[in-house]
Amino acid sequence: MTDPALRFQDVDLSYGRTPALSGINLSLDPGQALALIGPNGAGKTTLLRGILGTVRVSGDLRILGHPVGHVPPGLIGSVPQSADLDLSFPVTVRHVVEMGLYAELGWFGRLKGEHRRRVREVLERVDLADRAQDRFGELSGGQRQRVLLARSIVANAKLILLDEPFNGLDGPNRSALLSIVRSLKEEGVAVVVSTHDMVLAEEVCEQTLLLAGRQVAFGPTEEVLVDDVIRQAYGSAHVG
Ligand SMILES: Nc1ncnc2c1ncn2[C@@H]1O[C@H](COP(=O)(O)OP(=O)(O)OP(=O)(O)O)[C@@H](O)[C@H]1O
């Protein structure tokens, strides 16, 4: 039997001794997408950090069958919010994608023809092959996110985390990202998307976790994103 991509059983997350999120219970299958929805400060980014093992986790959290903190390198791909990226770092788009191969090659491993071919193919897939030699920091926010997604794809990540990836994207960039997410799911990759956009969650995510410093609801998106449940996280002002 295949392990769930994610399984939280009574998980609490905290920053040192400061609790941030409590009582999380969920399961996500390979090939499915999970939307994290909730108001500002609800704990969406914290939940992603929990999966990456960069905040304190208590309870039972398993990722692709591995306990948190013991997931083999490369299996989790992470695309942080664009505001969190250091754009002064002088790397090209191709170099950023090649970083996805480090788990396979080791930091000092040499790239072979097969690796370069994979990097080229993935850059084509995210429609950025013509920007391969450009500096990462010169790209638009949407393009930078697609480069980071390419880095996860080249690593053959089985779980990809996207933190508010649709913020500030125009229509074409939004469609491009949505179609990549759909094709990843078809390949059996599980995706977690933190977003304020409920329409997007309905479009691409089978499951939704509604947060407000705790788990308000988890389940099929069409059952969670209904007025009565949303109100429990946002209050009445945000419904209607
Ligand atoms: N580095 C940190 N140290 C201590 N507390 C933090 C830290 N980062 C976030 N928090 C706290 O954890 C809680 C959840 O924040 P988080 O950033 O996960 O929310 P969010 O849902 O992603 O919000 P937003 O939609 O604004 O990005 C908040 O109370 C926040 O103040």
Which residue is closest in CA terms to ligand 1's atom 9?
Answer: 46
For ligand 1, say whether the CB of 43 is within 6 Å of any of its atoms. Answer: yes
Report CA(13)–ligand 1 centroid distance (Å).
Answer: 11
Report yes or no for ipTM above 0.95. Answer: yes
User: How many domains are there within the chain?
Assistant: 2
Distance 42 CA to ligand 1 centre (A): 7
Q: Does the CB atom of residue 17 touch ligand 1 within 6 A?
A: no
For residue 81, the ligand 1 atom closest to its alpha carbon is: 27
State the residue range of the domain holding 134.
83-157
Q: Whose CA is nearest to atom 4 of ligand 1?
A: 15
| Residues 223, 226: Cα–Cα separation, whole Å | 6
Q: Residue 167 has what DSSP assignment?
A: T
The set of residues, in sequence order, having a beta carbon less than 8 Å from that of 66 and lying 6+ positions away, is 72, 75
36 in any annotated domain: yes
Is residue 181 packed enough to be buried (19+ CB in 10 Å), middle (13-18) or exposed (0-12)?
A: buried
Q: Of 157, 180, 210, which residue is a domain's last?
A: 157
Question: Domain for residue 240, yes or no?
Answer: no
Q: Are residues 31 and 97 in the same domain?
A: no
Residue 239 lies inside a defined structural domain of this protein? no
pLDDT at 15 over 90: yes
Confidence of residue 201 (pLDDT cuts 50, 70, 90): very high
Ligand 1 touching residue 158 (CB < 6 A): no
What's the mean pLDDT in 109-130? Answer: 90
**Does some domain include residue 135?**
yes
Please tell me whether residues 163 and 71 are part of one structural domain: yes
Q: Is residue 55 part of a domain?
A: yes
Residue among 15, 163, 215 to mutate when testing ligand 1 (max atoms within 8 A of CB): 15
Does a structural domain hold residue 182? no
Task: Tell me whether residue 186 is in a domain.
Answer: no
Rounded Cα distance, 33 and 30, in Å? 8
Task: State the average pLDDT for the chain.
Answer: 91
Does residue 238 have a pLDDT over 60?
A: no
For ligand 1, is residue 44 a contact (CB within 6 Å)? Answer: yes
- Tens digit of each residue's pLDDT (9 = 90 or more) over 77-97: 998 886 566 667 788 999 999
Choosing from 110, 130, 157, the residue where a domain stops is 157
The pair of three-digit structure tokens given for residue 102, joined into one six-digit string: 């480090």
Specify whether 52 is located in the same domain as 114. no
Task: Answer yes or no: are the C-beta atoms of 26 and 185 closer than 8 Å.
Answer: no
Confidence of residue 153 (pLDDT cuts 50, 70, 90): very high
Residue 107's contacts (CB-CB under 8 Å, 6 or more residues apart) are none
